[in-house]
Every structure is written in structure tokens, then in C-alpha cells.
Amino acid sequence: MLSSRVVAVFFAFCLTLVLNAQAQNADPLPSWADGAAKQAIVGFVSKVTRENSPGFVPVSERIATFDNDGTLWAEQPMYFQLLFALDRLKALAPQHPEWSSQEPFASLLKGDVKGALAGGDHAILEIVMASHAGMTTDEFAAIVKEWIATAKHPLSHLPYTDMVYQPMLEVLAYLRANGFKTFIVSGGGVEFMRPWTQAVYGIPPEQVVGSSIKTEFQMRDGKPVLVRLPQVNFIDDKTGKPVGINQYIGRRPIIAFGNSDGDLQMLQWTTAAAGLRLGVLVHHTDARREWAYDRKSSVGQLDKALDEASVQGWTVVDMKQDWKVIYPHEKR
Amino acid sequence: MLSSRVVAVFFAFCLTLVLNAQAQNADPLPSWADGAAKQAIVGFVSKVTRENSPGFVPVSERIATFDNDGTLWAEQPMYFQLLFALDRLKALAPQHPEWSSQEPFASLLKGDVKGALAGGDHAILEIVMASHAGMTTDEFAAIVKEWIATAKHPLSHLPYTDMVYQPMLEVLAYLRANGFKTFIVSGGGVEFMRPWTQAVYGIPPEQVVGSSIKTEFQMRDGKPVLVRLPQVNFIDDKTGKPVGINQYIGRRPIIAFGNSDGDLQMLQWTTAAAGLRLGVLVHHTDARREWAYDRKSSVGQLDKALDEASVQGWTVVDMKQDWKVIYPHEKR
């Protein structure tokens, strides 16, 4: 006869089996409506993770890359990093009296963002350099952390990190649970993202690829520092994305998520290689819950990549139809 | 009474406990002589991994960086990547009749390496660009894989991947077993290392930081490729190492291993921050089993960093005294 203790252990064991089975059957993407987009993601993951299946991919090769602006978090009415730069310039203005008569700063400080940006790429570069350079990397990280913890979106009045997409958080977690290494590959500044991507997306700094300015090693009072210089180092956008993937990650993703023409080459690079590949575009179609924009938008323009999606068979996510929830707070 | 099956399970469980305890007590660095260097490494790891100890470091922050040439594998009589470049030029020479009268190629093809290198940095750049650029990244990876699988060291006649340091392989495995993420941070070419670092060191491509040339995204016959251009992108040496660490990894290591003045700033950057930090220099002191060189060597010069080691309390490994075995084949 078995002792009652052994019986108890046996029942505990059976309960564990049942709970595990339930966990495996639970919907890993509860914020996604049942439809072609969800099916494409789940179907792909099941094919590449099933051992002895023809599409099986070993864990080491399960690399997935994600654009950030407009793919993992919102990007309207303008890129959040530009809003950070504006806040930063306002804070620095007292130390720069010359800005009151110098463009693009004069317009910006009067609240005329459109006027400031009328100077084109040159104006944007001036804004980025004045707000992002001139301090050490440690100082810049502290500035970003402070801003991301306190600043609010101008329309929703939510913290920016509450404007991430709940369905995409689920995709990130689902892929990681299936052995994928998840990377951000963004046109945004790499040092603007790294201080908070672990907490918000579960993506550590070393898995964030982005645009950067040059830094210089200096000794200050016998202590080494890295100083951020007002010079562009790398633009991780459009044709820069495959270049950045190759330079930072050193292997080709099998999954790429984007939302704009800035992601076209990343999706081409990812999906053109042999073996199963998944390219996904998030299409902003929900003017009520988020924003609706594509071919004519100045922020996150989606035009050529949308045409290419039908040629290449990439999955296009219709936010209005495919996402039951947009932001995490809607779930609560 | 317990069934015999339950008794068997219980004994199996006890056996597992005993084997685990043995594994924990086994020497993780068997090729290291008992001495100050080994003690410094093991002592550091035990302090940062013991929970509730004042020096405890969470797993996510356990970043360790390693130079490659002279730290993980040998670098004499010249950097192995330069030997690769020479082999490559010989293979390409029939397509370049002009090289027979053009320096540095003319000297090189006659076997006069010293004469070729007399042209200084400019000559080296010409050699690197002629041998490393002009093909796609996929083509270059295939060339490197073929070379590393077949080429032999000019003096030992061993494959280059047999000239890695057994004691360092043990350090890499020991750190990973203790939750560390191990990175290469080398002056060598990143795309020269990535094709073989996983198999040889257990370090995946995305954890290799190195020097690079520029690449360009192109469409060829409707297929995207990255073409390697004859232009320097980044030199990951000296002050470039902290810059590269910040750019690629995005956080500061708590351990750094190097062997030359090229690693000085990496060790400064690593050890100057708050909290427990370990800086280690491998000192080549064994003329019989390996090579003996330091302050006056043209390859892997160790001069300023050796002085700084005593000021900063960095650990200096005396290869002759501290390493019972140099290469893996000595163990067999």
C-alpha cells in the first residue's frame, strides 16, 4: 500500500500536468482578433518550432526584429523622440539666449513646430544635435530616464510608455516563450531607447539597434567618460536597417515587424532568404482608437511597402479589425 | 510500506543531489595553476553571484568582454586575420596582373611581408580592402568559413582554431555557467570572427563587437544583398573599444579581459565604474610553449596597460606560471 504522503505527491504531480496543458492551450495573443494576421503569426511560430517538421529552425537562429515608432508604440502627432527634443530645448533655452532669434529654435520656442520643421532635414539635425549632444552617455541616459518617467503625450496625456501596443507586447512575449531572441531595429536613437526598453518591452539594451551620433572617449579628472558629439554616426532607417542588422546582430532575422516605408528594406532583407520567413506590416487604420494614416502621412508613411506587401505575401495587420485592444490600459 | 518503485525513485533523487554537489565542487578552471590570478577570477565571480552579499550583481548586469587576438587565441608571428588577407591576395592575384608591379602587393606576392608592411597603415589598409571588400556579406562569410576550416598556422601547422587558449575557454564557460553574457570586443574584423565564434568559443554572432568596413544595401536581380565597400566604418581598438561597447552592447561590462595596450581603455572603462569590477591582462611570458613579448613587440604591444595594471590593481596573468596548459590539444 502507498502511504498518504506518496498519494498526495502523485496528485500534485497530476495537477501540474493539467495546469501545464491548460497553459499551453491558453491563447498567447488574447488581444488579437481571430483572423488572417493572427493566424499567420501563430502558424509561422508553430511551423518553425515543431521538431522534425520541414520548417524547423533551431533556437539559435530564431531572430525576430521589430521597428519601434508606429510598430511597438505610437508615433503621432509626431515621433515621440522629437517631442523629447522639444522638451529638452525648452529646458536648455535659458542657457541659450541666442536661440530667441535663431532658427529653428526661435520658432520652436514660440510653439511653432511646423515653422521650425520647415527648415527640413537641416532643421531636424540642428534640433537633434542641440538636444542630444554635448553631455556624457551617462548624463544622457539619466535625462532620458527622467523624461520617460514624467513626460506626458500632448493629446492623450498618458505617459509615453503607456502608448505601447498591447497586441505587440503579446507578440514579443509569445516569441520569447518560443525561443526567439527579440530585437528592436529602429530609426530612433539607440541611446534614447535603451534606458527603458527592458522594463517596457522586455528587450535588453544589447538587443536594441538604432540611429546614433558619434561618441568620444575622454579622461575627465582621471575618470573615463564617453562624450556625445554633434555628429551623425549611423542612420538606422530604410536601406540602413539591413546594414544595421548585419552590423549589430550579425545574422538575418526570420521574422520582421514594421509599419512604414522605413521598414521596406528590413522586410525585404528578412523575407528574401531561404527557409520560412515572416514579414508583417502594422497598418494604422483606426482613427477612433488610435490614428488612421498611410500613403500620404509625413510621419510613418506607408506607401511602397504596402504595395510590396501584396507582391511578397507579407502579412498586413489591420489595427481596426485585428486588434481588440490597442493600449495596455484598455485591458485593465 | 513503500513500493520498490518509490524506493528506486528516492535513490535516484539522492544520487542526483550527490552528483550536483560534486559538479559544484569540481574545479571550473582545471587548466589554471592555483595562484593569485585564478583566485582573483574565482573570488570575483563568487562575490558577485552570491545573493544577499554586498557585491551581488543581478544576472542581467553580468556582462563580460574579451579581446580576441592574444587574449582568446594567439597572435604571433602576426595577427591571424593578416595571414587570412595574405592567403586571400594570393588567391586573387591571377585576376590582378597589375599587382606584380604595385606595392604593397608586389612585395607580398614575393613573400616579403616585411617589405609590404613597410608602407605602414596605408599599406595595411590597401591589403585589407583588396582582400575584404568587393563581395557581398554572404560571399565573405563563405570565404572566411572555408579558410578557417582549412588554413594552417605557418609555424605550428595547426588549424588556427586549435590555437585558442584552453584556460580562456574554461573562463568563458565558467562565467556563462554563472549567468554571465560573454562578448568579444576585438580590433579584428567583426565579419571575420562571426562565422566561427559560436563553434569555437560558444559566443554567438550578436555578441561579437569588432572593426568593420562599410556595407551597402543593393538589389541584385530582385534579391537584396549587402555589398562590402572599401571604406573603413569603425576601428574597435584603443579608445574605440569603450565606444564600441557603448554602441553595440549599450551597457558597461563588470569584467574585461585583454592582453595589450589596445585594451587599456576597455579596462579603464570597465573598472572605473562603481561596484565590484574585474580587469585582467594576459601577459605572454612563455617563449617555450607560446611566445614571450610585451613592451617592445610590434604585435600585441603591452606597455602602458602593464604600468596601469599595477596602479589600478588589475590582475595580470603570467602565462608561464598561471596556465598549466596553453592549447586544447595539450589536454588530449
What digits encode the pLDDT tens for the residues A281-299? 999 999 999 999 999 999 9
Better-predicted residue by pLDDT, A138 or A2:
A138
Say yes or no: A250 contacts chain B, CB-CB below 8 A: yes
**Residue-level length of chain A:** 332
The string of pLDDT tens digits covering residues A180-194 is: 999 999 999 999 999
Mean pLDDT, residues A244-266 = 98
Say yes or no: A137 contacts chain B, CB-CB below 8 A: yes
Beta bridge partners of A228: A215
Cross-chain CB nearest to B217 (options A204, A208, A242): A242
* B265/A215 Cβ within 8 A: no
In the predicted structure, residue A266 carries a pLDDT above the cut 70: yes
Flag whether A140 is in a domain.
Answer: no
- Is residue A85 within 8 A of residue A127, CB to CB? The reply is yes
The C-alpha angle with vertex B222 and arms to B220 and B224, in degrees rounded to 5, equals: 60
Say yes or no: B265 contacts chain A, CB-CB below 8 A: yes
CATH code of the domain containing B65? 3.40.50.1000
Identify the band that residue B240 occupies on the pLDDT scale cut at 50, 70 and 90: very high
Q: Which of A127, A136, A163, A173 minimizes the C-alpha distance to A330? A: A163
In the predicted structure, residue B64 carries a pLDDT above the cut 80: yes
The C-alpha angle with vertex B119 and arms to B113 and B122, in degrees rounded to 5, equals: 115
The string of pLDDT tens digits covering residues A123-175 is: 888 999 999 999 999 999 999 999 999 999 999 999 999 999 999 999 999 99
Cβ of A46: how many Cβ atoms within 10 Å?
12
In the predicted structure, residue A211 carries a pLDDT above the cut 50: yes
Flag whether A151 is in a domain.
Answer: no
Say yes or no: A216 contacts chain B, CB-CB below 8 A: yes
Size of interface A-B (CB pairs under 8 A): 95
Beta bridge partners of A318: A283
In the predicted structure, residue B20 carries a pLDDT above the cut 60: no
Q: Which three cell numbers stand for residue B11?
A: 535513490
Q: Which three cell numbers stand for residue A152?
A: 506626458
Flag whether A7 is in a domain.
Answer: no
Q: A20 burial class (0-12, 13-18, 19+ CB within 10 angstroms)? A: exposed
The string of pLDDT tens digits covering residues A25-41 is: 689 999 999 999 999 99
* B243/A226 Cβ within 8 A: yes
Mean pLDDT, residues A87-92 = 95
Q: CA–CA separation, A320 vs A309, rounded Å?
A: 18
Shortest Cα–Cα distance, A181 to chain B (Å): 10
Flag whether A142 is in a domain.
Answer: no
- Is residue B29 within 8 A of residue B171, CB to CB? The reply is yes
CA atoms lying within 13 Å on the CB side of residue A250: 25
Q: Which domain holds residue B185?
A: 29-77+154-331
Q: CA–CA separation, A200 vs A198, rounded Å?
A: 6
In the predicted structure, residue B58 carries a pLDDT above the cut 90: yes
Judging contacts by C-beta atoms under 8 Å, the chain B residues touching residue A190 are 247, 250
Say yes or no: A179 contacts chain B, CB-CB below 8 A: no
* B217/A239 Cβ within 8 A: yes
Identify the band that residue B3 occupies on the pLDDT scale cut at 50, 70 and 90: low
Question: What pLDDT is attached to residue A4?
Answer: 61
Question: Quick one: how far is CA B99 from the chain centroid?
Answer: 33
Contacts (Cβ under 8 Å, ≥6 apart) of B177: B28
- Is residue B131 within 8 A of residue B119, CB to CB? The reply is no
In chain B, residues 195-214 whose CB comes closer than 8 Å to chain A: 198, 204-208, 212
- Is residue B286 within 8 A of residue B292, CB to CB? The reply is yes
Cross-chain CB nearest to B247 (options A212, A265, A269): A212
Q: Which three cell numbers stand for residue B231?
A: 571604406
In the predicted structure, residue B260 carries a pLDDT above the cut 50: yes
Flag whether A21 is in a domain.
Answer: no
Question: What pLDDT is attached to residue B121?
Answer: 83
Flag whether B55 is in a domain.
Answer: yes
Shortest Cα–Cα distance, A134 to chain B (Å): 16
In the predicted structure, residue B111 carries a pLDDT above the cut 90: no
Question: What pLDDT is attached to residue B1?
Answer: 46
Better-predicted residue by pLDDT, A306 or B19:
A306
Sheet holding A278-283, edge to edge: A223-234, A208-220, A181-189, A63-66, A255-258, A278-283, A315-318
Cβ of A111: how many Cβ atoms within 10 Å?
10
Backbone angles phi, psi at A321, to 5 degrees: -85, -40
Q: Which three cell numbers stand for residue A304?
A: 511602397
Total count of domains within chain B: 1
Say yes or no: B226 contacts chain A, CB-CB below 8 A: yes
Identify the band that residue A1 occupies on the pLDDT scale cut at 50, 70 and 90: very low
In the predicted structure, residue A20 carries a pLDDT above the cut 70: no
Judging contacts by C-beta atoms under 8 Å, the chain B residues touching residue A251 are 194, 205-206
* A242/B206 Cβ within 8 A: no
What proportion of chain B, given as a percentage, has pLDDT over 70?
Answer: 92
User: In chain A, which residue's Cα lies nearest the Cα of B245?
Assistant: A206
Backbone angles phi, psi at B203, to 5 degrees: -110, 115
* A212/B233 Cβ within 8 A: no
* A223/B272 Cβ within 8 A: yes
Judging contacts by C-beta atoms under 8 Å, the chain B residues touching residue A216 are 239, 243
Cross-chain CB nearest to B226 (options A215, A226, A242): A242
- Is residue B176 within 8 A of residue B70, CB to CB? The reply is no
In the predicted structure, residue B19 carries a pLDDT above the cut 60: no
Flag whether B323 is in a domain.
Answer: yes
Question: What pLDDT is attached to residue B17?
Answer: 55
DSSP code of residue B258:
E
In chain B, residues 62-101 whose CB comes closer than 8 Å to chain A: 63
Question: What pLDDT is attached to residue B14?
Answer: 53
Flag whether A246 is in a domain.
Answer: yes
**Residue-level length of chain B:** 332
Q: Which three cell numbers stand for residue B123?
A: 599599406
pLDDT averaged over chain B?
93
DSSP code of residue A206:
G
Say yes or no: A243 contacts chain B, CB-CB below 8 A: yes
- Is residue A241 within 8 A of residue A265, CB to CB? The reply is yes
Q: CA–CA separation, A317 vs A35, rounded Å?
A: 10
Say yes or no: B249 contacts chain A, CB-CB below 8 A: yes
pLDDT averaged over chain A?
93
User: In chain A, which residue's Cα lies nearest the Cα of B189?
Assistant: A247
In the predicted structure, residue B289 carries a pLDDT above the cut 90: yes
Judging contacts by C-beta atoms under 8 Å, the chain B residues touching residue A229 are none
Q: Which of B289, B298, B280 minimizes the C-alpha distance to B320? A: B289
